[in-house]
Chain A
Amino acid sequence: MHLETIAGVLAAALITSWGFPAAAADDPVKGCTPDGGFTFTDPTGDDDGPGTYTYPTDAVYKPGSFDITEFQVVPRGDEVEFRVTVKSRIEDPWDSPAWGGNGFSIQMVFIHIDTDHKKDSGVRDGLPGTNVRFAADEAWDRVVIISPQGATRVNSEVDAKCPQWKDRIIVPRVTRASGRTLYAVVDTKQLGGHPTPAWGYQVLMQSNEGFPAKTDLLTRKVNEYEGQHRFGGGTDYDNDPQVMDIIVPPGGDPVKKQHEILSKYNKAATTVVKPEDLAVVPMVYPCAK
């Protein structure tokens, strides 16, 4: 209680002096700029995929580690900085510098970008291991991978597991973590141009798996029951969406919406899973008019 009191006083002082709002506004989109920048708020407590997923039991998976709270796109000249903030402080329990990593260990984020919003343009399949799809008119054209693994490892996994999308997959020039935020800096050239307010995004929160299954792009599996290093609450097959948190279009209850989206997969498809059996995740066009 003592700690809580101290922190409460500190919080009050900071709010007073810096004028921070006590609660977030309802509209999740803020600060749309003509160069495609924006801030998108995602609710807390929805790091459970379709509502049933649970964290692995190992102590490194701290509560809130996979709970997206904010997604930002910050254009800066010929670069774009992507920021994904989670509810918990980002740590490096596996000492990523020892394996050429980027200063964090357990998170892994895929930022899918739809640059043209045209039907049958882009890729509908999710990256290997995510077990999701996109709608025909919301297919992704680029995907930015924020991984604790060094670029060499990520690129070699891409070469081995999805070489057909190699030109669309972007391993950032800079990937780092600070506080609760993951940062990725990407050249606009890699994105195919400067961002515009019309671009759409989908942020999939996964977990870095250094020893992935043969078909997974460094992603951690979701099983029926959680394991020391496996998520639980899904199935033991590759039909369930293997993402813990996503962003959803504004309007309505975002948590309920996420649960509904990620629950819509074919539970009867077990050993043979077709693309149409997978959950379809939406693109979000935060600043599109």
Chain B
Amino acid sequence: MARIAGGGVVAVAVGMALAPAARADTSNFEMSGKIYTKYMYQNDATQGCLSMSNPFWVDNIGGHNGACTEFELNIKAHVGPKVEAGVRLQSRWGAMWQDWWENGDLKPGVADTSGESLGMNHAQYIKLRGAWIRAAPPIPTVRWVTVGSTDYSMWNEWTIGKARYIDRDNGSGVFFEGELLPRKRLSYTTGAMALPKLWAGPGWQTGLSGNDPLARLYGTDWAFALKLESRVSDELRLRFIGATLRDWEPDRYSPMLTGAPDAARGADHSVALATRFRGYNGTLDAVYSPAALDFLTVSAMLAGSSNFVNPDYATNMVRNGQGFSPVVFKLGSNGTPVSSNGLAGKVLVELADPLQVGLSLKLEYFNIGSEYNAVMGARREADVLLTDGIIAGGFTRGGQLPTLNVANEFQDWDEPWYESCIGWKGATAVAEWVRGVLRVTGEFTYIGYNTNMQGRDVRNQYPNFLYTNGFTDTTAFTADSDYANVYDRGKDPRSVYAENQDRRTFLVVATAQYAIPGFRGATINLKGKHVNDRDNRILANPNDDYEGKSWLGMISLSNQLTNELRTFAGFEYTHWSEANREGSEQEGFHDSRTVRQTARAGFTYAYGGALFSYMLEYFHKDLLRQPYYFDMKWNVWRSKASLEVSW
């Protein structure tokens, strides 16, 4: 096993001379394992252990009814003080306990009457999910060199974002970290990363001919990034991050690809590369914490992006994919493709209990350009704005991200949702009062939109993700078919462009947590939220104005009954009143009302290193649309249990 961490391998990989190959000292050899089992139930006709899987391809692991188990093994070795290495081995998620025997031997074209195989997604094979080597070479200024798997966490949400947890080792690259000036006056990180072929480009890929006939090469595609950080003083920190994405394809006009290898044609057994997609993202941010006012922190950030798509190699998914595209296909005034450029900025002032009475304030101004887009930015599990946002509910949390590439798939119904904040401009004020066992917060946010425009070209240039209207019901997304919005769950969280938009939103949020005296760890949580969302659509048409008003109230009680047992129960009421929600300019728009009640209860129990959790939810929803459309209702019971053991 020590061969995994051989120093000689490092030397080859990073091209430098190190000490002779070392073997991991047993005391420095760490192994950890984990078994994770999940059970899901819902009163629907799906099976699997993942509420929402791939929204595009049917991958036969998404569904609500089933029990599944996975195993993870991490091995880490301190080969020597300056070289360490690690791998993660993990079984494939997707096999249900009911699968009985599955070897992945799917026979395409042969009727499988015994259910012998559903393919490798159900075969529980152990896969190398990540491998990395880290060394501290004797190179001036270089502190560390890392080769292998990465979660991209060294950059930020506006450039190259940290990969979602399930993808934490899927990225690979080579990274150098070090200091140019001592005492952190100037430190750097730079790296080259293989561009993920699955999502980081036009059409959510970087050159898959099966998906995009104009492209067929992804092995040449890379992202490059540089971070410079400086602790100018104890009070001021500065950081610059610059990143570029390079998606190349073989030059379709190369003589070697267009005819005989005739020297007279210019063929010379070399093929040039042409750009399919090129992206630039950069941020400059500062954090100022004056020593004399230790309650004050001021953070500011400026960001810029530039994305260019070459339609000679990338199918225009705005035109040919119903407006589903993570990039803008921008055209110049003469109809030729040009870069889509955007700027963004925000300033956050935080006053942490300046009067020593438990009252803290946060004020944020944000202004994100209509075409700022971090194609490889954080896709979920991050939040760049202070506000609670529009998409977050009571039980369901949420966040905002500056990308069209937001990913709300491969997750369960109890996980947070994320919305794109491209084009948002406005301000948030949050006050927090803390005294003993009581915490109260209040928020007011106003959002204007840089994307407001009449007659925007959403047929050829700007993706609208088809569904631009209405509050998004994250609760009602289902695995079987509603990722395609069959049952009207409102606006796509990625939709930032509409053909005609004149929109503004404000929201008010209040929360409270109170630990009940006399009860061990019993805490009441309250949340109230109102969103007022108005879009005048076509300014010349007073009859098409959308106005959505959302009210939410939630109460929950959590209680630490014993050292090992924590219980939870809560109720959420949501009411949406939406004028002119559904319809079209041609046929007119009609009102709708949504009333939803959700009840949840559950517990977590820890015993001797094992952690068991269970959650049961019932929600009833009425979508009232008559007399223009039929009404719909939901009566959904669902539960999720997990058992986790790590060692």
Contacts and interface: CB of A to CB of B under 8 A. Distances in A.
B28 interface: yes
A45 B235 CA distance: 12
A268 interface: no
A179 B351 CA distance: 8
Contact of A63 (B231, B294, B297, B360): B231
B6 to A, nearest CB: 19
Contacts of B560: 151-152
A211 B563 CA distance: 20
Contact of B566 (A76, A151, A159, A180): A151
Interface stretch (A54-62, A104-112, A133-141, A246-254): A54-62
A173 interface: yes
Interface in B68-117: 78, 81-82, 84
Contacts, number: 154
Contacts of A76: 436
A176 interface: yes
Nearest to B154: A59
B436 A178 contact: no
B167 interface: no
Interface string B260-303: 00000000000000000000000000101111111111101000
A69 B515 CA distance: 27
B293 A11 contact: yes
B354 A14 contact: yes
Most chain B CB neighbours (cut-off 10 Å) among A89, A95, A173, A227: A173
Nearest to A221: B30
Contact of B563 (A88, A155, A213, A214): A155
Contacts of A152: 560, 563-566, 604-606, 611
A18 B515 CA distance: 32
B439 interface: yes
Contacts of B8: none
B352 A179 contact: yes
Interface string B10-32: 00000000000000000110101
B646 A211 contact: yes
Contacts of B291: 44
A238 to B, nearest CB: 10
Contacts of A228: 134
B335 interface: no
A156 B297 CA distance: 37
Contact of A100 (B30, B352, B566): B566
A124 B565 CA distance: 30
B65 to A, nearest CB: 24
B353 A178 contact: yes
Interface in A31-72: 44-45, 57-60, 63-64, 69
A227 B82 CA distance: 10
Interface string B143-168: 11000000001111000000000000
Given A20-B293, A150-B604, A179 B28 contact: no
Interface stretch (A2-10, A113-121, A198-206): A2-10
Given A153-B611, A174-B523, A178-B434, A3 B289 contact: no
A171 B520 CA distance: 11
B611 A98 contact: no
Contacts of A265: none
A7 B608 contact: no
Contacts of B144: 57
Contacts of B234: 44-45
B353 A181 contact: yes
Given A97-B397, A156-B609, A88 B28 contact: no
Contacts of A79: 436-437, 517
Given A58-B153, A179-B352, A180-B294, A3 B286 contact: yes
Nearest to B347: A3
Interface in A224-249: 224-225, 227-228, 236-237
B566 A14 contact: no
Contacts of B609: 156, 160
Contacts of A7: 288, 290, 296, 298
A225 B81 contact: yes
A156 B290 contact: no
Nearest to A237: B27
Contacts of B416: 95, 98
B515 A10 contact: no
Contacts of B611: 152-153, 156
Nearest to A20: B293
B432 A178 contact: yes
A69 B293 CA distance: 13
A236 B434 contact: no
A179 B607 contact: no
A223 interface: yes
Contact of A180 (B288, B352, B515): B352
B81 A11 contact: no
B237 A63 contact: yes
B15 to A, nearest CB: 21
A183 interface: yes
A262 interface: no
A127 B606 CA distance: 20
Most chain A CB neighbours (cut-off 10 Å) among B144, B292, B350: B292
B572 interface: no
Contacts of A6: 298
Contact of A4 (B153, B236, B647): B236
A128 to B, nearest CB: 14
Contact of A153 (B27, B28, B81, B606): B606
B90 to A, nearest CB: 14
Interface string B388-419: 00000000010000000000000000011000
A97 B511 CA distance: 15
B545 interface: no
A179 B361 CA distance: 9
Nearest to A15: B292
B298 A3 contact: yes
Contact of A173 (B355, B397, B437): B437
Contacts of A81: 436
B355 A18 contact: yes
Contacts of A89: 289, 297, 350, 352
A209 to B, nearest CB: 12
Contacts of A57: 143-144, 177
B442 interface: no
Given A79-B437, A151-B566, A11 B606 contact: no
B41 to A, nearest CB: 21
B298 A173 contact: no
A146 to B, nearest CB: 15
Contact of A179 (B81, B84, B353, B564): B353
B137 interface: no
B381 interface: yes
Given A89-B350, A174-B437, A11 B236 contact: no
A234 B380 CA distance: 36
A63 B564 contact: no
A185 B604 contact: no
A87 interface: yes
Nearest to A176: B439
Interface string B553-570: 000000010011110000
Most chain A CB neighbours (cut-off 10 Å) among B564, B565, B605, B606: B606
Interface string B582-608: 000000000000000000000011111
Given A174-B523, A179-B350, A181-B353, A225 B82 contact: yes
B521 interface: yes
B504 interface: no
Interface in A74-98: 76, 78-79, 81, 85, 87-89, 95, 97-98
Nearest first, the 5 A-B pairs at minimum CB distance are A179-B352, A156-B606, A155-B563, A174-B515, A152-B566
6 contacts: A152-B560, A152-B565, A159-B608, A176-B434, A213-B30, A225-B82
Given A159-B564, A185-B436, 5 more contacts: A44-B291, A63-B231, A79-B437, A151-B560, A179-B350
